[in-house]
Amino acid sequence: SSTLLTLSGSDLRDDKERVMEEPVSDVEFLRLQNDKISFALVHSLHAHMSYVKPSF
């Protein structure tokens, strides 16, 4: 899972350190990161949509 660290900013690194303290399976770790990334994508997409949407 060292490839995760190359993908990421400080966010993923912090999580990885926390994982060291309280062990979580790699699958769970990946799922967590996925949730975080999808949330960020949905959030920014939503912000973009409401920005672009014409206001009447």
Average pLDDT over residues 26-50: 81
pTM: 0.33
Percent of the chain with pLDDT strictly greater than 70 = 43
Whole-angstrom Cα distance, residue 7 to residue 10? 10
Average pLDDT over residues 42-54: 72
Whole-angstrom Cα distance, residue 53 to residue 45? 12
Tokens of 51: 């920005």
For CA atoms 40, 14, 4, 10, the dihedral sign is positive
Tokens of 42: 């949905």
Tokens of 2: 């060292």
In this predicted structure, what is the pLDDT of residue 1? Answer: 46
Report helix angle 10-21 to 26-52, nearest 10: 150
